[in-house]
């Protein structure tokens, strides 16, 4: 499997953390940087956590670049209730090895202008604020993105913020709207799919062994709540689709983003968007476990 250059835009967050550990440990991704965004928690927490994950795996060669502290046009919402105030469910990770530098939209633009056009994919695990800012202020660079794979939205399932809205889209609906309107190669992975990719207690235990696998097991264990039997692994689905798109059934739907009644909800609309609506769950979980081993 050749490794592709990727930028991971993220709001770690427990499931973001598992996705990042998988990407780094699997050897299938050339991660050129982690850009952080406010989402599950504030920008300082998500940025620190990105640095802590790199410190855990001894990767001072990978930069962390912090980004938007607030949504484009609304007050922030967060998911501290799920991820804990430290964003990692209290799992002890080392402190970051380096001070983050730069500002994510600028840094992304610089990387995209320097790299061969469409040779860098962007894996978006949080609210789309940084990518919307890249589109607004550096449209020439944004056009050079290869694939933009986004965990976000919900199509027929119920929402996890409003009745029909998913957190990454609800946290910054204007950003989601801007990204779906842009002429980019976007693939959405909505809750309809990510909720099917569930880690049970036995699966979590099976991950233990390597530094990445044991940390992932600790992080998912911290994600279990009030006696539930399993937890959904939302963000790792982005890496899995980047690596093995054949495991997903992707269809083009015509949508728009609700900016009023249930902000972030996906409505019928004029925008043609590739949306994953099916997944081979067993194969996906196996690939995830293999990449953490
Ligand atoms: O709705 C799930 C998404 O919101 C995931 O990316 C999770 O990390 C949170 O950001
Ligand atoms: Ca996330």
pTM score above 0.85:
yes
Q: What is the pLDDT of residues 57-85, one digit of tens each?
A: 999 999 999 999 999 999 999 898 889 99
Q: E strands, the chain, where?
A: 4-10, 29-36, 64-66, 120-124, 145-151, 185-189, 198-200, 230-232, 248-257, 266-268, 271-279
Residues 6+ apart with CB under 8 A from 95: 51, 52, 55
Rounded to the nearest angstrom, the distance between the alpha carbon of 37 and the centre of ligand 1 is: 12
Report domain extents, the chain: 4-292
Over residues 4-8, mean pLDDT: 95
Q: What is the pLDDT of residues 161-220, one digit of tens each?
A: 999 999 999 999 999 999 999 999 999 999 999 999 999 999 999 999 999 999 999 999
Q: Which of 11, 87, 239 to mutate to test the pocket of ligand 1 (most atoms within 8 A of CB)?
A: 11
Angle between helices 43-56 and 14-26 (to 10 degrees): 30
* Cβ–Cβ < 8 Å for 196, 276: no
Which CATH number does the domain 4-292 belong to among 3.50.50.60, 3.90.245.10, 3.10.310.30, 1.10.3720.10? Answer: 3.90.245.10
3-state class of 146 per DSSP? strand
pLDDT at residue 244 tops 80: yes
Q: Give catalytic residues, as residue numbers.
A: 234
Binning pLDDT at 50, 70 and 90, where does residue 2 land? low
Q: What is the pLDDT of residues 11-28, one digit of tens each?
A: 999 999 999 999 999 999
Can you tell me the distance from the alpha carbon of 279 to that of 2, in angstroms, rounded to the nearest whole number?
Answer: 22
Cβ count within 10 A of residue 92: 10
Q: Looking at the CA of 232, which ligand is closest?
A: 1
According to the model, what pLDDT value does residue 9 have? 98
Over residues 270-281, mean pLDDT: 98
According to the model, what pLDDT value does residue 203 have? 97
Rounded to the nearest angstrom, the distance between the alpha carbon of 114 and the centre of ligand 1 is: 30
């Amino acid at each position: 499997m050749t490794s592709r250059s990727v930028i991971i835009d993220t709001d770690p967050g427990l499931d973001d953390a598992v996705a990042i550990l998988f990407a780094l440990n699997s050897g299938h991704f050339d991660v050129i940087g982690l850009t952080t965004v406010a989402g599950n928690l504030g920008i300082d927490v998500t940025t620190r956590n990105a640095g802590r994950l790199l410190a855990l795996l001894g990767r001072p060669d990978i930069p962390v670049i912090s980004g938007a502290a607030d949504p484009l046009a609304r007050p922030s919402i967060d998911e501290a209730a799920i991820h804990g105030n430290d964003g990692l469910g209290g799992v002890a990770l080392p402190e970051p090895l380096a001070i983050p530098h730069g500002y994510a939209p600028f840094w992304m633009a610089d990387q995209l202008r320097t790299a061969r056009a469409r040779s860098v994919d962007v894996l978006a695990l949080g609210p789309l604020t940084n990518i919307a800012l890249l589109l607004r202020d550096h449209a020439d660079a944004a056009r050079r993105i290869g694939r933009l794979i986004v965990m976000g939205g919900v199509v027929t399932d119920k929402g996890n913020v409003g009745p029909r809205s998913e957190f990454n889209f609800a946290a910054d609906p204007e950003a989601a709207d801007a990204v779906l309107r842009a002429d980019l190669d976007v693939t959405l992975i909505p809750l309809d799919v990510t909720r099917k990719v569930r880690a049970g207690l036995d699966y979590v235990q099976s991950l233990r062994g390597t530094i990445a696998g044991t940390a992932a097991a600790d992080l998912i264990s911290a994600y279990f709540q009030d006696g539930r039997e399993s937890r959904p692994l939302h963000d790792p689905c982005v890496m899995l689709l980047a690596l093995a798109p054949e495991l997903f059934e992707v269809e083009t739907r015509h949508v728009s983003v609700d900016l009023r009644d249930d902000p972030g909800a996906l409505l019928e609309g004029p925008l043609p968007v590739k949306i994953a609506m099916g997944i081979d769950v067993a194969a996906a979980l196996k690939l995830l476990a293999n990449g953490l081993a």
